[in-house]
Amino acid sequence: MALTVYTDKDVDMGVLKERRVAILGYGNQGHAHALNLRDSGVDVIIGARDQMSPSGARAKQAGFEVLSYAEATMAADVVMMTLPDEHIPSVYKDHVAPHLKRGAALGFAHGLAVHFGHITPSDDVDLFLIGPKGAGRWLRAEYEAGRGLACLVAVENDATGHAKSIALAYASGLGCGRAGMVETSFREECETDLFGEQAVLCGGIPDLIEAGYDTLVEAGYSLKWPISNVCMKPS
């Protein structure tokens, strides 16, 4: 199946710059989203558990307006959930769903909560996903270097007719349009991401390293060489 890949030239940043964006969470992904979008000219606020939490304090120190999850949701036109997957259902139920504007856009950095039915957003909001292909620190570093990370972009619900334009503008504001924004679905992003993490990174690769080490040791090689050849990357 052919991939549909968008770049900055396909994007109208005006659709995002005329909206206020709330980033819920200021951790691994959240801090990079917030900083990159602000540097791209987008109006960004932060939603935190409370202003005295470690992440809230870091966001405040970075110069962002920090509100509660509920207050940030009420004040925003676009709400991006960058919280850990296990926290999203309760935060959505208690703080986001009761306060999300009709016609607002609700975004996710990973599709798990929606794809597996942990939350069911209402039909009157746009629902989109932006999945950068790398950790937040890399997303930020690449942006600052004038480059960008590729990302996955998906739209699950288009209540306003602008969901895709908002999603692409959001991804472009992160710097992802410099590398490529690949169109996908919540299901595809979620299942392939979980497979890559659990079956390959946390499963296959560690087992391969262990098997390679055991093979060399059992063949009589000095312990230091299996460790060097199997476990260490060049500096």
- 154 to 55, 81, 137, 150, 158: CA distances (angstroms): 27, 14, 23, 14, 11
CA–CA dist 6, 21 (Å, integer):
22
CA–CA dist 167, 7 (Å, integer):
12
- Burial of 63 (C-beta count, 10 Å sphere; 0-12/13-18/19+): exposed
Write the CB contacts of 161 (distance below 8 Å, at least 6 apart in sequence): none
Give the number of other CB atoms < 10 A from CB of residue 29. Answer: 26
Catalytic residues: 110
Write the CB contacts of 192 (distance below 8 Å, at least 6 apart in sequence): none
